[in-house]
Amino acid sequence: MRVDIWSDLVCPWCYLGKRRFERALSMSEHRNDVQVVHRSFQLDPAFPTGQSVAARAMLMQKYRMSEADVATSQDQLERLAAAEGLEYHLTESRTGNTMDAHRLIHLGREHGIQDAVIERLFRAHFTENRSLFDRDSLAALGTEAGLADVQDFLRGSGHEDDVIADHRKAHELGARGVPFFVIDGRYGVSGAQSVEVFSDALARARKSLQPDHS
């Protein structure tokens, strides 16, 4: 059984949802039979490549929120993340175009280390406040995750088409935000749901694969 997960690397709910899903999967007796594939979704694909803005300022403008309201929301997210064993530092967080970062995730899949790559990028962004928006930083992070010749790869356009195709497919499936999970190509779960919701979805998908002996 395969699970496809659409996410963006600057989405705090995506890292949170990934960890909750992983907890649910770890409790399944069929966990070793599940293949997880990470798919690309860009929250702001029109943002200029190589640039970034303060996430707090972006949220204030996009959602017409006050700075105090954004700060409260970020504090709540940091607490939710901590409950899942994640360390978020959102006050100084920045956001921007994630095309190159997503390209690295596809490169990671090509080399069999996709999860290691996405984990490294998520942690760099949310815990370490390292940039996902300039290629020197991304090259260093990709190398730390186990990729080779990352600088040369980023100079080209490898896997750009895959990132765009993933984004298009998400929209075809009706996803307008992330994280978005598709289990066995049939069951959709939207958002960073609870461990219980993910467990139930995995169990229902597994049950549907079994022959009906009634």
Q: Which domains does the chain have, with CATH numbers?
A: 2-209 (3.40.30.10)
For 186-200, what is the mean pLDDT? Answer: 97
Positions of E strands within the chain: 2-7, 35-40, 52-54, 94-96, 180-183, 187-190
Q: With bands split at pLDDT 50, 70 and 90, how would you rate the model's confidence at 176?
A: confident
For 145-157, what is the mean pLDDT? Answer: 98
Spatial distance between the Cα atoms of 181 and 191, rounded to a whole number of angstroms = 8
| Rg of the chain in Å (alpha carbons) | 17
* Model pTM score: 0.95
DSSP per-residue string spanning 53-100: EEHHHHHHHHHT--HHHHHHHHHHHHHHHHHTT-----TT-EEE--HH
Spatial distance between the Cα atoms of 95 and 73, rounded to a whole number of angstroms = 16
Structure tokens at 24: 């649910």
Q: Check residue 115 and give its pLDDT.
A: 98
Query: Residues 102-120: pLDDT tens digits?
Result: 999 999 999 999 999 999 9
Give phi and psi for 179, each to the nearest 5.
-75, 155
Three-point CA angle 12, 168, 61, nearest 5°: 45
Task: Describe the strand order of the beta sheet including 35-40 as a list of residue ranges.
Answer: 35-40, 2-7, 180-183, 187-190
Query: Residues 53-64: pLDDT tens digits?
Result: 999 999 999 999
Structure letter (DSSP) for residue 148 = S
Cα–Cα nearest to 191, from 9, 59, 20, 49: 20
Residue 211 confidence (pLDDT) above 80: no
Residue 214 confidence (pLDDT) above 50: no
Query: Residues 3-18: pLDDT tens digits?
Result: 999 999 999 999 999 9
Q: With bands split at pLDDT 50, 70 and 90, how would you rate the model's confidence at 180?
A: very high
| Identity of residue 160 | E
Strand partners for 190: 180
pLDDT > 90 in the chain, percent: 96
- Say what angle helices 99-110 and 135-145 make with each other, to 10 degrees: 20
